[in-house]
A and B are shown apart, each in its own frame.
Chain A
Amino acid sequence: MTPAANPDSLLVIVPAFNEQDAIAGVVRSVLQHVPGVPVLVIDDCSADDTIPTARQAGAEVLALPHHLGLGGCVQAGYKLAYELGFEYVIRVDGDGQHDPRDIPRIFEKLKSSGCEMVIGSRFVAENGSRTGAVRSLGIRFFRLVLRPILGKAVHDPTSGFVGVNRRALGVFSRSFPLDYPEIEALVVLQRRRFRFEEVPCTMLPRTTGRSSITAFRSLYYIFHVLMGVFVNVLKFDSRLHRRPPGSGAGG
């Protein structure tokens, strides 16, 4: 993967932890549906053969020296993409639940809307995606919490299927939530007055392994993310909210 010179350069990043059974399918599917686009698997210190499997499937691999968790893993990919000069980055999860056929739609929306983040959403349009009862309840709860903070509705705040442009990439390279980053990342963007859009996407059922989110962890997740949201809201940066000189009262 060479530094990007193309103004529309796109990198697909795939955070993965012990995904040897799913990663090859994900990488091949991405390469099939967005040919010519480099795929970077960020391995969060897997104990299995995720790294060689991903390389054999045609991906570049960024191998973390020890386990950082999802946020640290994704941020490492953002940092590398930013350093290499990529304009757009789309994140696809390594468990095969995100359908790579939706990548072109997210990419087009990123380019055409000029917004900093595009979320692949299960709930913008009815597409047959199903979520568990606890998770569904959590999503509804966070929709309500985020609505006044973001100033607009977000249908799928927990979706990890997101695309960002270079402005957001610069911000996330410096500051990115570490645990359960999806919701907090929205607040981080909002504090910088960045915009986001949602496009309908399909979420596939998990084919290998099982989710690490248990009922107890769901409760911890809600509490943890709620704290993170409010901490980010309290990080008031006066420079970003200062009225530019010369702007009128209605500015």
Chain B
Amino acid sequence: MDHLLNVTTGLSIVLIVMVLVSVRRAHIRVEYSVSWLIAASAMLVLSRARPVLDAVRRLIDLPDTPLTLFLLGGGVLLIMFFRFSVVISHLRDDNIALAQRVAILEYHLRSFRNREKQEA
């Protein structure tokens, strides 16, 4: 059990460092780093504060503590993946609308230039 908690602590610290480095290098935007930092911090706290983890286990009525940690981690990841799916869907819609607008504007520009050539 202690080994599992230590591994979780290690992974949480690695994740926090990775996110901070990525933010500093502008590989990830601040608004998208917040979710990861909150999730990693929560896992770090839970893995270091055994009484808190036990309280959560009793609250959701699970048989053992490692399962509680595993479920909490999985649940957080699922929520974050869903959130990112929503963000990606919005980005794709915006991207398509922009590409169509660029194509239409280029079409108008080309038509305008052709008309100018014919008039000249």
Q: Give CA–CA (A42, B106) in the complex, Å.
A: 13
Query: Interface code A81-111, partner B: CB below 8 Å = 1, 0 otherwise?
Result: 0010000000000000000000000000000
State the main secondary structure of chain A at its contact with B: mixed
A153 lies within 8 A of chain B by Cβ: no
B111 lies within 8 A of chain A by Cβ: yes
Q: Which residues on the A side are within 8 Å of B111 (C-beta)?
A: 1
State the main secondary structure of chain B at its contact with A: helix
Asked whether, in the complex, the Cβ of B96 is within 8 Å of the Cβ of A68, the reply is: yes
Query: Interface code A27-67, partner B: CB below 8 Å = 1, 0 otherwise?
Result: 00000000000000010000000000000000011111110
Interface set, chain B 66-114, CB cutoff 8 A to A: 96, 99-100, 102-104, 106-107, 111
Q: Which residues on the B side are within 8 Å of A68 (C-beta)?
A: 96, 99-100
Q: Give CA–CA (A113, B90) in the complex, Å.
A: 38
Q: List chain A positions with a Cβ less than 8 A from chain B.
A: 1, 42, 60-66, 68, 72, 75-76, 79-80, 83, 178
12 new A-B contacts, CB < 8 A, other than A76-B99, A76-B100, A79-B104, are A1-B111, A62-B107, A63-B103, A65-B99, A65-B103, A65-B106, A68-B100, A72-B100, A75-B96, A76-B103, A76-B104, A83-B104
Q: List chain B positions with a Cβ less than 8 A from chain A.
A: 96, 99-100, 102-104, 106-107, 111
